[in-house]
Amino acid sequence: MSLEPETRAQLIETVRRFVREKCVPLEAKVAEDDLVPDSIVAEMRSLGLFGLSIPQAYGGLELSMEDEVLVCLELGQTSPAFRSVIGTNVGIGSQGVVMFGTEAQKQAWLPKLASGEVIASFALTEPEAGSDAASLRTTAIRDGSDYVVNGTKRFITNANRAGMFTLLARSDPSKPGASGISAFIVPARTPGISIGKPEKKMGQQGAQICDVVFQDARMPAHLRLGAEGDGFKLAMKVLDRGRLHIAAMCVGAAERLLRECVSYARERRQFGRPIGDFQLIQAMLADSRTESYAARTMVLDAARKRDSGETVTEEAACAKYFASEMAGRVADRAVQIFGGAGYVADHGIERFYRDVRIFRIYEGTSQIQQLVIARHLLQSVE
Ligand code: COS
């Protein structure tokens, strides 16, 4: 549902102020503590951020994709760890329930996800199944009125805070590919689930990822999401949407870095004048501006197409691919413009450089996006 222009402007302004006044001053502390403080999480709850994409009937804001993207353009302007707090409830953790849940499943889970009372987490990746998601080995075998789950999931965002998992598991081991996979809602307190220690990562400290191990975890069959064998398609549809959300985060990060670069180029003096006077610095600023503008336009276009009912698998892959690679280039130029000051921790530029690196990997690597785009071209162009 699209917001009225005035309501949209108010929401964007509120998120912008929250990011600039509350999150930006805490960036270094969040990275050091590897934790987003409870006060910020509480404020996100009161702003309704956990429920951005959840239908109003279940307590969410039910934003259109375009409005969600506009919010992400603001959330992207600070450490991605802040967005990660709400990211799985807004995107990959909840959207399987929104798109494929029965009325009873929606009633049971969506209000709690929208309020942030329960954190959702998306359990697809495994030690041996990353880009090749259809090769996943975790099994969910029907036993009477239950399913029994065994296997290990890896790099699962927010697993250590999760109240529920959207789990992708093989319900038919006789089918090794996509068609043997089903999706499930799994309450995190189900006996037989254990959570690994948060991984030590290159960046995005404050956003945590862990292993999730299922050992004879038994759950009632009514928690299956969609039909048996439809899990892979559910995961792909969830990721189509998630990729637009991540692309918008990349644009937000690039716009923040560009602002930092412009103000540094104005104040830093070398050879008797501000470095912004030098054409080689200007070229880097111009390249970053051009690329971030192109990515912003792409993300908004794809979001609008999705809102008008189009399937945007290809556009979402283009946007995620271009925006994440663009953010990497913009961060690299930012380190170059700041020079030594960009390499030391004080200005936070090196932290952004590390933080944006994962955007080219999670929710589908750049190479997977290329593959998705090329497959669509080869199937559709006449
Ligand atoms: N929407 C709906 N259905 C889709 C789809 C989409 N975006 N993409 C694929 N499908 C369907 C296909 O149509 C096919 O259905 P049929 O068998 O009925 O024709 C089925 O799903 C299998 O698709 P495909 O044959 O393309 O599967 P592949 O194993 O070749 O894998 C890729 C496709 C590589 C695109 C997929 O594995 C992928 O996206 N990998 C990356 C996973 C990822 O992003 N991981 C990040 C972890 S989550 S943070």
Q: Where are the alpha helices (DSSP H) in the chain?
A: 5-17, 27-33, 38-47, 65-75, 80-90, 95-100, 103-115, 231-267, 279-307, 313-338, 340-343, 349-355, 366-380
Q: Which residues of 202-240 are buried (b: 16+ CB within 10 A; e: fewer)?
A: ebbbbbbbbbbbbeebebeeebbbbebbbbbbbbebbbb
- The answer to whether residue 381 scores a pLDDT higher than 90 is no
Domain layout of the chain by residue ranges? 5-115, 120-228, 233-379
pLDDT digits (tens, 9 = 90+) for 259-287: 999 999 999 999 999 999 999 999 999 99
Q: Could you check whether 120-228 and 233-379 share the same CATH topology?
A: no
Among 184, 122, 201, which Cα is nearest to 159's? 122
- The mean pLDDT value of the chain amounts to 97
- The answer to whether residue 1 scores a pLDDT higher than 80 is no
Pairwise CA distance, residues 281 & 265, whole Å = 8
65-75 vs 279-307: helix crossing angle, rounded to 10: 150
Indicate the top mutation candidate among 84, 168, 232 to test ligand 1's pocket, ranked by most ligand atoms within 8 A of CB. Answer: 232
Distance 366 CA to ligand 1 centre (A): 15
Check pocket membership of 373 for ligand 1, CB cut-off 6 A.
Answer: no
pLDDT digits (tens, 9 = 90+) for 278-324: 999 999 999 999 999 999 999 999 999 999 999 999 999 999 999 99
pLDDT digits (tens, 9 = 90+) for 96-130: 999 999 999 999 999 999 999 999 999 999 999 99
Handedness of CA 171, 176, 179, 181 (dihedral sign): positive
Q: Which homologous superfamily is 233-379 in?
A: Butyryl-CoA Dehydrogenase, subunit A, domain 3 (1.20.140.10)
Q: Average the pLDDT over 57-83 and give the result.
A: 97
Instruction: Provide the pLDDT confidence category of residue 191 given band limits of 50, 70 and 90.
Output: very high
Instruction: Provide the pLDDT confidence category of residue 256 given band limits of 50, 70 and 90.
Output: very high
Global pTM? 0.97
Q: Average the pLDDT over 41-48 and give the result.
A: 97
Cβ neighbors of 382 (< 8 A, separation 6 or more) are none
* % of the chain residues with pLDDT over 90: 97
Check pocket membership of 362 for ligand 1, CB cut-off 6 A.
Answer: yes
Pairwise CA distance, residues 316 & 306, whole Å = 9
Residue type for 3, please? Answer: L
Residue nearest to atom 49 of ligand 1 (CA): 363
Using an 8 Å Cβ cutoff, are 199 and 210 in contact? yes
Indicate the top mutation candidate among 95, 233, 313 to test ligand 1's pocket, ranked by most ligand atoms within 8 A of CB. Answer: 233
Provide the pLDDT for residue 351: 98
CATH code: domain 120-228 is: 2.40.110.10
Residue type for 123, please? Answer: A
pLDDT digits (tens, 9 = 90+) for 150-168: 999 999 999 999 999 999 9
Check pocket membership of 363 for ligand 1, CB cut-off 6 A.
Answer: yes
Q: Which two tokens stand for residue 234?
A: 């559910």
Instruction: Provide the pLDDT confidence category of residue 346 given band limits of 50, 70 and 90.
Output: confident
Check pocket membership of 238 for ligand 1, CB cut-off 6 A.
Answer: no
Check pocket membership of 162 for ligand 1, CB cut-off 6 A.
Answer: no
Residues tagged active-site = 363
CATH code: domain 5-115 is: 1.10.540.10
